Amino acid sequence: MQNFNFFNPVRIIFGRNTIARLGPEAAKAGKKALLVYGGGSVKQNGVYNELTAALKKSGVEWVEHAGVKPNPVLTHTREGVKKARENACDLIVAAGGGSVIDEAKAIAAGAKYSGDVWDFFCGKAAVKDALPLFTVLTLPATGSEMNAGCVVTNEELAQKYSAHGGALFPRVSVLDPETTLSLPPAQVANGAVDAIAHLIESYFTTADRDVAVTDEVVHALARSVVAATTRILKDPKDYDARASMMWSATLALNGLAGCGYGGTSFPNHVIEHSLSALYDIAHGAGLAIVMPAWFKVHLEKAGPERLEKFGAAVFGVKGAAAAIEAFEKFFRSAGAPVRLSEAGIPAADIPRIAKNAMGLITLWGMKLTQAEVEEVLRKAE
């Protein structure tokens, strides 16, 4: 087990009827919020009304920044920074999925910085300060509600890059599983695939194979995601399955599931970000395509040990090949695409996708070559 430094300062308020509790929490940080949300799901499912009533009751005014796109884009983020500055907002409130929370984080940092917010993503500047951020999560997937990262796409350059820094941790995140009852099945699937992806990256890329406690955390969370997804797709009103999914996805990327693994990397994510930068596909869908292919390469290069262990513990199957099949079967059963062709991406584009991935690979200091990325993508044809 490798040394680690685990820190997570995010207060989580979890459960039914908890959105109202964000009001007093936000009021501790400021008087005027930039209220960030997406294409309108929060208006349809009642989250917007509950949240704005809570802010009003606590004496917090707000300026709206709506229209965050899934795979949030730089131009809209820059508009948010401008709005936060012009209106002298002293806090940010975000309601939605990972895209909304990520853009809100970027705005929170951008508002406290004199340069361009993209500087944080392209490695030109480090995030040192940010406006305090409060979130209401409506889509279990990314873990953004309890971590210090965010992902934004520079649509002009087709670069989907990330920024990180302790100042980006939300102060408080409300997780009310009832807000997820309105999710369409495709988003349930995307969220499940993403949570699984967060669990497997460090598990499979660690060089340390004797970190029993974290292996067990990963197995348990992955089993919980698989079980909850199956229940939700069968009965979308199943509150306890929604609750289990929500907390599992948060725990999958809040730092816990990587403790003790030492130096690990995110190869599936780095390849997926190139797919969503170029084709604007959902992050979960892109990961469902990349992961089975990446596992096939992993099996050839690293041997069967990890796949056998994960497959037995999570899917109850024997052998590495059966584990890869079980991943694919789970992704398919949730309705996710598992081949490039199923997402309408031609095999002829593989060199272009791999070339585009090299930007983030360099920024993240990974050893992956363009030929190796192509090798993975060929197995996803």
- Give me the residues that bind Zn ion (CB under 5 A), please: 194
Contact segment (CB under 6 A) with ligand NZQ among 111-119, 122-130, 137-145, 294-302 equals: 137-145
Residue 138: name its binding partner from Zn ion, ligand NZQ, none (Cβ under 5 to 8 Å by kind).
ligand NZQ
Residue 43, Cβ density class (10 Å: 0-12 exposed, 13-18 middle, ≥19 buried): middle
51 versus 245: smaller Cβ distance to Zn ion: 245
Among 21, 31, 45, 85, binds ligand NZQ (CB under 6 A): 45
Among 19, 26, 29, 38, binds ligand NZQ (CB under 6 A): 38
Residue 70 touching ligand NZQ (CB under 6 A): yes
Residue 179: name its binding partner from ligand NZQ, Zn ion, none (Cβ under 5 to 8 Å by kind).
ligand NZQ
State the nearest-atom distance from the C-beta of 313 to ligand NZQ, in Å.
Answer: 23
For the record, the structure tokens of 67 come out as: 């229209």
State the nearest-atom distance from the C-beta of 183 to ligand NZQ, in Å.
Answer: 4
Q: Enumerate the H helices of the chain as residue ranges.
A: 22-29, 41-44, 47-57, 74-86, 98-110, 185-205, 212-234, 239-252, 267-279, 283-302, 305-310, 320-334, 350-363, 370-378
For the record, the structure tokens of 313 come out as: 């513990």
291 versus 320: smaller Cβ distance to ligand NZQ: 291
Residue 80: name its binding partner from Zn ion, ligand NZQ, none (Cβ under 5 to 8 Å by kind).
none
Spatial strand order of the sheet with 133-137 comes to 11-14, 172-175, 133-137, 91-96, 32-37, 61-65
User: Which residues have a Cβ under 8 Å from the Cβ of 381 and sit 6 or more positions away?
Assistant: 339, 340, 341, 347, 350
Contact by Cβ (8 Å): 2, 261? yes
Residue ranges binding ligand NZQ (CB under 6 A): 38-42, 45, 70-71, 96-100, 102, 138-139, 141-144, 147, 149-151, 179-180, 182-183, 187, 190-191, 194, 253, 269, 283-284
